[in-house]
Amino acid sequence: MRKGLRKTERQPRAWQRMLSGRRLDLLDPSPMDIEIEDIAHGLARVARWNGQTVGEHAFSVAQHSVVVEEICAHIQPDLEPRWRLAALLHDASEYVIGDMISPFKAALGVDYRTFEERLETAIHVRFGIPAKTPIQIKKLIKKADRACAFFEAVQLAGFTSSEALEFFDAPPDGYTLHIEPLSPAMAQSRYIQRYNVLSQAAGFATVAAAFDTE
């Protein structure tokens, strides 16, 4: 480096540009920079189980989220549309941070949890859901999430039923599921379609489907 010149110091980039054109500040996410199309697009391309699943396509977080919402409604048929929407969006933050397996989340510690919670709050505010989910709804979503993980573990990730029961919840009575991992385009479309149904039922705005695949 020549005398008199100093290397320009740049702050690390802490935002991500989305395909919608939004620029999301990762340190201080604004609800105004969050779009359901970006969430659906991202989640349809994030693989559950770090991609260690059978089938032509990875089992995406988008498809998983649709199933979790369905299981919540099976367990509690009178569940309000806004809480069913909360179930659909329960992993929405992963469109930014990816799907980290639980042991890795635990290893990262509190700072990761704080970041995840901040992003989840912004997502809830953006889509008209209370920023803080009631504890009973959280428990319901977690139960459905773990039941879905049981099906995934056995059908896609190589677990035996007995092994899966050690880590996840047994399926609720009367609910069965046969998983066929969808292509990213199909998973994205299904996610948007489900969002529109639930948003309309809850009195919120809907959006056009990103893909017309059905």
Q: CATH classification of 34-198, choosing from 3.40.50.300, 1.10.630.10, 1.10.3210.10, 3.30.540.10?
A: 1.10.3210.10
CA dist list (Å): 26 to 51, 66, 95, 116, 197: 25, 25, 12, 10, 29
pLDDT number for residue 214: 43
* Contact in structure between 185 and 211 (CB atoms under 8 Å): yes
Predicted confidence at residue 104, as pLDDT, reads 55
Q: Where are the domains of the chain?
A: 34-198
Under 8 Å CB-to-CB from 161, ≥6 apart: which residues?
Answer: 154
- CA pair distance 149, 170, nearest whole angstrom: 9
Mean pLDDT, residues 115-119 taken together = 86
Q: How far is CA 77 from the centre of its chain?
A: 22
74: phi then psi, degrees, rounded to nearest 5:
-70, -45
Binned at pLDDT 50, 70 and 90, residue 144 comes out as very high
Alpha-carbon distance of 131 to 129, in angstroms, equals: 6
Instruction: Give residue 211's pLDDT.
Output: 44
**Percent of all residues in the chain with a pLDDT value above 70, rounded to a whole number:** 84
Q: Check: CB of residue 16 under 8 Å from CB of residue 96.
A: yes
pTM of the model: 0.85
User: In the prediction, which pLDDT does 155 show?
Assistant: 98
